[in-house]
Amino acid sequence: MKTIADIVLLGDPRLYEQCAPVVEEELPLVAGWVADLHAVMEDIRATYHFGRGIAAPQIGVMKRLVYLHLDGQPRVLLNPELVELSPTMFELWDDCMSFPNLLVRVQRHQQVTVRYRDEQWQPQTWTVQDGISELLQHECDHLDGILCTMRALDPLSFRWRPTPAPAESNLRMG
């Protein structure tokens, strides 16, 4: 099982590569990839207190696979393709598991529609907006070798987020 130590970090050339599609013959491998993605996401959540989605290349699996875990519900997107992008945009500070202490100011589409295959290889279509729209755009960018650092609004659109302190340090002394 993969852990936070297996996350592919900023500067690794794999993060800039375009991923290969998942083919139907690889379906038996998907459950293992998803288990690894879930385990790494849980480690990130425990360490950095964020994480709703992760793309396969972030753990070195160079396949078009996105794993989301929203409100306790997992969702696997095989070969996701953004097919409709709203003209309305919004700005936000984006974060990424591959550089967890860096926030990047970006602009994203308010609403998107994604086509993908689920774990049973069934075609699906999903329309989302706001935060989930941003998340899907971020994760699909990973599949094309695009990082949010490459989408920064300007050279001043970077901010450092300190690592959260362990719970013990919140205790008062004396």
**DSSP E strands, 46-147:** 53-55, 65-70, 73-85, 89-94, 102-109, 111-117, 123-129
Q: Sort strands 111-117 and 158-160 into parallel, antiparallel or unpaired.
A: unpaired
**Catalytic residue list contains 139:** yes
Q: What is the DSSP string of 23-59?
A: -GGGHHHHHHHHHHHHHHHHHHHHHHS--SEEEGGGG
The one catalytic residue in 17, 119, 139, 168 is 139
Q: Which residues are catalytic?
A: 139
